[in-house]
C-alpha cells in the first residue's frame, strides 16, 4: 500500500527544479555508518541483524528529519516491489538480494533515506534535483546527528567512521551527480574525459550506480576515495569536476547545432520523438536513448512537446518494475514493452 502511494507521489529529484537540472538530473550524498558494538553485517548472525534493525528503527522514529517517514522491511515485500525500490534508487541490489532483517526508511518526497543492514549497518542517503551537493550534505549531516542521538556509531579520531569495506572508511562519504552527456557521447569524447576523472580519483558509473551499464548517455560521477580530505574538500572536488564536465557538454551542444551537424542532430531528435509517440513495443534502453535526445533538444530551447519534469517522470515510470507496479501484476518482457509503448504514446499525445 505504501508503495502504491510512492508510485503516485512525485519524488523530489524528478521535479527538475534544482540548479543546472538541464544536464544534472540529480545529486546524491551517501554516508556509511556502523554501530560500534554490533558485528558488521557480513559476519552477523540473523539475531544480531534483527537487533541492529530494531535499534535503527527506534532511533529513526525519534529523528526529526524522518517525521512521516515510511519504514519498509524488505522481507515483507514481493520481488517486484523490491525491484521497484531499486529502480527508485532507494535500495541496492545487494540489499534486495537478501531481504531477511533488511529494511529501508524513506523520508518525505524520497529526499532522505536509510538502508539498514546493507554491507554497513546504515547507509544514509540524500537525493535531490540538479547540482546541489552542498545542500544535500547539510541534510545528510543533520540526519546523521539526529540518528547519533539514539545510536552509538563506530568511529575513531584516527580512522574516522569505521566501515565494513576500507574503501568507504574515514568520512564514509560518497558524493555523486547523475549527469546527462549526449553531445559528448555523440562526439565520441567521453572516454578521455572519464580517464581524466580517474586521475582525479573520481569514478564514473552507469545510472544505477553499482552496475557499469551505460543507459541513455547518463553517467554517475562520484569520488573514488573517502579518507584524507575533509567533507568540505570532497564536496569542492566533486562539484568542480561535475561543473567542468557540464560546461564541456554545453559548449559542445551549442557547437553541434550551429555547425554542419545541425541537420544530423535534428534528425536524431525528431526520429526519437517519432518513435516515442508512435511505437507499439519498446524496450527500456531504447526508450532511454530517445528520451536522452529529447532532453538535449529541450536544453537547446528547441520546441518539442515535453518538459524536463515529464522526461524525468518517464525515466522513472518506464522502468520494468514500475510498469509492473502500475499493471499490478508480473509481466513478460514483451508485455512490458507493449505497455511501455502505450504509456509513452499517451504522454506524448497529451
Q: Does 271 bind another protein (CB under 8 A)?
A: no
Q: Does 204 bind another protein (CB under 8 A)?
A: yes
- Whether the Cβ atoms of residue 253 and residue 192 lie closer than 8 Å to each other: no
Listed residue (108, 142, 127, 116) closest to 57, CA to CA: 116
Q: Does 219 bind another protein (CB under 8 A)?
A: yes
Buried b (16+ CB within 10 A) or exposed e, 302-337: eebebebebbbbbbbbbbbbbbbbeeeeeeeeeebb
Q: Does 213 bind another protein (CB under 8 A)?
A: yes
**Which one, 43 or 64, has the nearer CB to another protein?**
43
Q: Does 164 bind another protein (CB under 8 A)?
A: yes
Q: Does 152 bind another protein (CB under 8 A)?
A: yes
Size of the site for another protein (CB under 8 A): 67
Which of positions 273-292 make contact with another protein (CB under 8 A)?
A: 285
- Among the listed ranges 31-39, 240-248, 261-269, 290-298, the one in contact with another protein (CB under 8 A) is 31-39
CA dist., res. 269 & res. 277, Å (int): 12
Phi (first) and psi of residue 142, to 5 degrees = -65, -40
Q: Which of 75, 78, 156, 266 binds another protein (CB under 8 A)?
A: 156
Listed residue (173, 2, 26) closest to 85, CA to CA: 2
**Which one, 201 or 264, has the nearer CB to another protein?**
201
CA dist., res. 188 & res. 173, Å (int): 31
CA dist., res. 230 & res. 137, Å (int): 12
Q: Which of 142, 148, 239, 300 binds another protein (CB under 8 A)?
A: 148
Q: Does 116 bind another protein (CB under 8 A)?
A: no
CA dist., res. 119 & res. 166, Å (int): 12
Q: Does 45 bind another protein (CB under 8 A)?
A: no
Q: Is the dihedral of CA 320, 322, 325, 326 positive or negative?
A: negative
Q: Which of 138, 230, 255, 264 binds another protein (CB under 8 A)?
A: 230
Q: Does 198 bind another protein (CB under 8 A)?
A: yes
- Among the listed ranges 5-13, 71-79, 153-161, 236-244, the one in contact with another protein (CB under 8 A) is 153-161
- Whether the Cβ atoms of residue 6 and residue 110 lie closer than 8 Å to each other: yes
Site residues for another protein per CB under 8 A: 33-34, 36-40, 42-43, 93, 119, 141, 144-145, 147-149, 151-167, 169-171, 173, 190-191, 194-195, 197-198, 201, 203-206, 208, 210-215, 219, 225-231, 233-234, 285
Amino acid at each position: 500500500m505504501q508503495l502504491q502511494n510512492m508510485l503516485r507521489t512525485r519524488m523530489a529529484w524528478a521535479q527538475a527544479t534544482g540548479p543546472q537540472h538541464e544536464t544534472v538530473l540529480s545529486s546524491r550524498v551517501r554516508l556509511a555508518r556502523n554501530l560500534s558494538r554490533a558485528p558488521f553485517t557480513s559476519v552477523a548472525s540473523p539475531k544480531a541483524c534483527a537487533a541492529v534493525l530494531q535499534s535503527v528503527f527506534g532511533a529513526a522514529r525519534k529523528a526529526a528529519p524522518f517525521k512521516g517517514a515510511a519504514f519498509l522491511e524488505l522481507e515483507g515485500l514481493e520481488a517486484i516491489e523490491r525491484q521497484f525500490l531499486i529502480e527508485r534508487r532507494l535500495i541496492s541490489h545487494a540489499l534486495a538480494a537478501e531481504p531477511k532483517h533488511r529494511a529501508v526508511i524513506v523520508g518525505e518526497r524520497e529526499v532522505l533515506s536509510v538502508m539498514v543492514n546493507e554491507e554497513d549497518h546504515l547507509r544514509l542517503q540524500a537525493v535531490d534535483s540538479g547540482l546541489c551537493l552542498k545542500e544535500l550534505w547539510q541534510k545528510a549531516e543533520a540526519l546523521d546527528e539526529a540518528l547519533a542521538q539514539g545510536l552509538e556509531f563506530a568511529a575513531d579520531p584516527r580512522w574516522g567512521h569505521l566501515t565494513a569495506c576500507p574503501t568507504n572508511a574515514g568520512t564514509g562519504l560518497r558524493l555523486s551527480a547523475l549527469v546527462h552527456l549526449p553531445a559528448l557521447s555523440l562526439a565520441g569524447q567521453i572516454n578521455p574525459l572519464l580517464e581524466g576523472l580517474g586521475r582525479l580519483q573520481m569514478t564514473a558509473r552507469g545510472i544505477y550506480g553499482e552496475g557499469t551499464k551505460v543507459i541513455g548517455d547518463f553517467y554517475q560521477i562520484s569520488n573514488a576515495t573517502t579518507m584524507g580530505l575533509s567533507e568540505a574538500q570532497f564536496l569542492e572536488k566533486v562539484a568542480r569536476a561535475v561543473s567542468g564536465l557540464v560546461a564541456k557538454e554545453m559548449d559542445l551542444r551549442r557547437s553541434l547545432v550551429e555547425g554542419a551537424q545541425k541537420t544530423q542532430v535534428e534528425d536524431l531528435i525528431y526520429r526519437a520523438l517519432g518513435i516515442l509517440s508512435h511505437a507499439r513495443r519498446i524496450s527500456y534502453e531504447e526508450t532511454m536513448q530517445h528520451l536522452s535526445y529529447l532532453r538535449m533538444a529541450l536544453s537547446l530551447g528547441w520546441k518539442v512537446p515535453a518538459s524536463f519534469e515529464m522526461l524525468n517522470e518517464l525515466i522513472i515510470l518506464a522502468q520494468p518494475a514500475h510498469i509492473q507496479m502500475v499493471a499490478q501484476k508480473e509481466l513478460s518482457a514483451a508485455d512490458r514493452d507493449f505497455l511501455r509503448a502505450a504509456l509513452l504514446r499517451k504522454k506524448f499525445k497529451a
